[in-house]
Amino acid sequence: MFAGLSRNDWFLFLAFTAVILLMPIILQPIGAAYPALMQKMCIFGLFAIGFNILFGLTGYLSFGHAAFVGVGSYAAVWSFKLLTMNIVPALMLAVFFTAIFALVIGYVSLRRSGIYFSILTLAFAQMSYNLAYSVLTPLTNGETGLQLSLNDPRVIDRLFDGAGPGLPRVNFFDLYISGGGYAGFYTCALALIAGFFISIRIFRSPFGMMLRAIKSNQNRMRYTGFNTRPYLLAAFVISGVYAGLAGGLMAATDPLAGAERMQWTASGEVVLMTILGGVGTLVGPVIGAAVIKYFENIFSSFGDATLHDVFGFLPDAIEDPLVAFLSLFVGDGWHLTLGVVFMLIVIFLPGGIMEGLRRIWNLFNRRRPGDREATPAAQPQPAE
Amino acid sequence: MPSNAVLHVADVHKSFGGLRALSDIDLQVMEGTTHAIIGPNGAGKSTLLNVCIGRLAPDTGAVVFDGEVITGKQPYEINQMGIVRVFQTPEIFPDLTLLQNVMVPAFAKHDGAFKLNPMQAMAKRTEIIDDAMHCLNDVGLAHQKDAVAASLSRGDKRRLELAMGLVQNPRLLLLDEPTAGMSRHDTNSTIDLLKKFKGRGMTKVIIEHDMHVVFSLADRVTVLAQGRIIADGPPDQVRGNPKVQEAYLGGTH
């Protein structure tokens, strides 16, 4: 089980674990060290890691992964409503149902490749979204979203003690997960670390090598004696399960599920995260997810007042137009900032933030003489 | 007819629209031999090869490998039966390292078309790497094993693809102009390499323009012209055949 990872991989994994667990300290200076934001970063990091197993390794761009998040969320909330507020069965059910869902959608969508595959996944996700709003209302509670209520059966919980007053909270036995506490953050952090470990294993395994070979030259794979579709389907289901787990965690930290989680914008977001961080790299997607969630939460809370504070030292004649211009990019306009950053990254750094970091790293390493031969693109897996 | 024909192309016809690419092709390749298929441009050599690996379906007739009809099978199934093709334009995995390029077909040989058993695959990895390194060594690329395949020269890409074919230790190796675009030196080393594998019971079908290659390697030569077989026999006999000389000299000059 533990063979096959190099020392570098172990180092990477330990460093990653340390950074994630120390997020409450590391993110303090940039004002992001509160559990509600950090757990979002972890959840979306997990989602993006899973997405990257499909997109980064096989090159198949799914535009419908949000559907799996939605299915995971609904499954988890139903588990809270029907069985118990304990998180374990909820996550297990989320994974189980998304795996089946991904198997069906993947089986159909993978009959095509390239843009047609993307369109098929998009169509499936939009179909799920619309169904959740309309005919599936008994299952999804339509526009209101699926919520807990006082008369939920919660059969397993009732076995042990009677209904307490008020709505119960999601728990892991005596630990409360929901409600924005550190327990919620650390649950998501552990899930992210576990997901990251599995992702390293997949990247370094023969299976990962096959997926990369499919991306590199699928036609050749067929003449090499591989039936590529089962490999693709396995990758699709694995990445769907990651998304489902992320959905389950969303429901665990905030026990309600709405159809908007399945909308195409949500599917697009994970594509942005992965590309921003670095497609096909191990940590890139997590960085991309953290950056986007940070922008979303921090930048969007800036208003004109903040800008006036920052540029207060300038004379009014310059300050006012500058603030008027910059206010387009903050507050509700933070999407504009994201758009600009995304464009710059795609144009100048097609490998995302990870490529930027690697270039900086190479800049420092090039000083050593005679090393130039070894550095440029000698490694197919980007050095994380 | 001798019974040890490993590949039998039986009465194959193939047309593209109005163009008859192959007609009445009946061909037997004997086990353990090196069989060359030659002919002027447009004679149907590549079409014939594509029919053999399942990329094209013949209009009529069938291809029988080792007593089993392979027409209509998926390319990966044909490969699993032991037929490997080395392409005319190098078909490799450009984003992978040389070693990985050879490991992928080695895994295909070991694990079959789809067997998802990660633990077993990991356990076999050292063995696979050994096989792959051995083949890279044979084609003289072992020292570059960690280079990305896209960075190779064209000649080296072809040698890499040869290693990818050899690592599967196929029963039948189909080579589509294995030395096209190579220097004289590389051509000779490829000939030596292919000769090395002669004793191992591997049957080879070679499509080639270069007569030097054909007459250094082939035990039997089939000449195609305009989709038909015009001569078939040992190299010396074919060389002296007036029909062949006409097809070559009259067809191209």
Other C-beta atoms closer than 10 Å to the C-beta of B114 total 16
Question: According to the CATH classification, is domain A8-263 in 1.10.3470?
Answer: yes
Residue B77 lies in a domain: yes
Contact with chain A for residue B97, Cβ under 8 A: yes
CA A38 to chain centre: 13
Which residues of chain A are within 8 Å of residue B100 when distances are taken between CB atoms?
Answer: 209, 212-213, 380
In this prediction, residue B71 carries a pLDDT of: 84
The domain of B144 spans 94-169
For the residues of B150-210, what is the DSSP string, one character each? GGS-HHHHHHHHHHHHHTT--SEEEEESTTTT--HHHHHHHHHHHHHTGGGT-EEEEE-S-
Task: Answer yes or no: do B177 and B55 share one domain.
Answer: yes
Task: Tell me the average pLDDT of chain A.
Answer: 87
pLDDT higher than 80, residue A179: no
In this prediction, residue B90 carries a pLDDT of: 81
User: What's the CATH code of the domain at B62?
Assistant: 3.40.50.300
**End-to-end alpha carbon distance in chain B:** 37
In this prediction, residue B159 carries a pLDDT of: 86
pLDDT higher than 90, residue A313: no
How far A212 CA lies from chain B's nearest CA (Å)?
A: 8
Which residues of chain B are within 8 Å of residue A231 when distances are taken between CB atoms?
Answer: 114, 116
Task: Answer yes or no: do B66 and B177 share one domain.
Answer: yes
Please name the residues between 218 and 247 in chain A that touch chain B, using a CB distance below 8 Å.
219-228, 230-231, 234
Please give the Cα distance from A109 to A102 (Å, whole number).
Answer: 10
Residue B1 lies in a domain: yes
Residue B17 lies in a domain: yes
Please name the residues between 70 and 89 in chain B that touch chain A, using a CB distance below 8 Å.
74-76, 79-80, 85, 87
Interchain CB distance below 8 Å, B85 and A212: no
Task: Answer yes or no: do B127 and B78 share one domain.
Answer: no
Task: Answer yes or no: do B112 and B76 share one domain.
Answer: no
Residue B192 lies in a domain: no
Q: Tens digit of pLDDT for each residue in A337-349?
A: 888 888 888 899 9
Which residues of chain B are within 8 Å of residue A1 when distances are taken between CB atoms?
Answer: 119
Q: Quick one: pLDDT band at residue A163, thresholds 50, 70, 90? A: low
Q: Tens digit of pLDDT for each residue in A74-94?
A: 999 999 999 988 999 999 999
Q: Of all residues in chain A, what percent carry a pLDDT higher than 90?
A: 52
In this prediction, residue A378 carries a pLDDT of: 39
pLDDT higher than 60, residue A1: no
Please give the Cα distance from A151 to A146 (Å, whole number).
Answer: 14
Tally of domains in chain B: 2
Q: Quick one: pLDDT band at residue A175, thresholds 50, 70, 90? A: confident
pLDDT higher than 90, residue A274: yes
Task: Answer yes or no: do B128 and B143 share one domain.
Answer: yes
**A264-273, A297-306, B21-30, B75-84, range with the lowest pLDDT:** A297-306
pLDDT higher than 60, residue A358: yes
In this prediction, residue B190 carries a pLDDT of: 83
Interchain CB distance below 8 Å, B76 and A223: yes
- A21-60 b/e with 16+ CB inside 10 Å = b? eebbeebeeeebeebebbbbbbbbbbbbbbbbbbbbbbbb
CA B78 to chain centre: 13
Interchain CB distance below 8 Å, A223 and B91: yes
Nearest Cβ partner for B96 among A223, A228, A380: A380
Interchain CB distance below 8 Å, A225 and B97: no
- B68-94 b/e with 16+ CB inside 10 Å = b? eebbebebbbbbbebbbbbbbebbbbb
How far B58 CA lies from chain A's nearest CA (Å)?
A: 18
Residue B196 lies in a domain: no
Task: Answer yes or no: do B3 and B72 share one domain.
Answer: yes
Please give the Cα distance from A276 to B78 (Å, whole number).
Answer: 42
Task: Answer yes or no: do B56 and B179 share one domain.
Answer: yes
ipTM at complex level: 0.84
Which residues of chain A are within 8 Å of residue B85 when distances are taken between CB atoms?
Answer: 223
Q: Quick one: pLDDT band at residue A247, thresholds 50, 70, 90? A: very high
Task: Answer yes or no: do B116 and B234 share one domain.
Answer: no
Which residues of chain A are within 8 Å of residue B146 when distances are taken between CB atoms?
Answer: 378-379
Q: Of all residues in chain A, what percent carry a pLDDT higher than 70?
A: 93
Nearest to B118 by CA among A251, A177, A231: A231
In this prediction, residue A377 carries a pLDDT of: 41
Task: Answer yes or no: do B32 and B70 share one domain.
Answer: yes
Please give the Cα distance from B129 to B151 (Å, whole number).
Answer: 21
Q: Which residues of chain B have pLDDT under 50?
A: 1-2, 251-253
Q: Any residues with CB less than 8 A from the CB of A127 and at least 6 apart, and which?
A: none
Task: Answer yes or no: do B58 and B179 share one domain.
Answer: yes
In this prediction, residue B2 carries a pLDDT of: 47
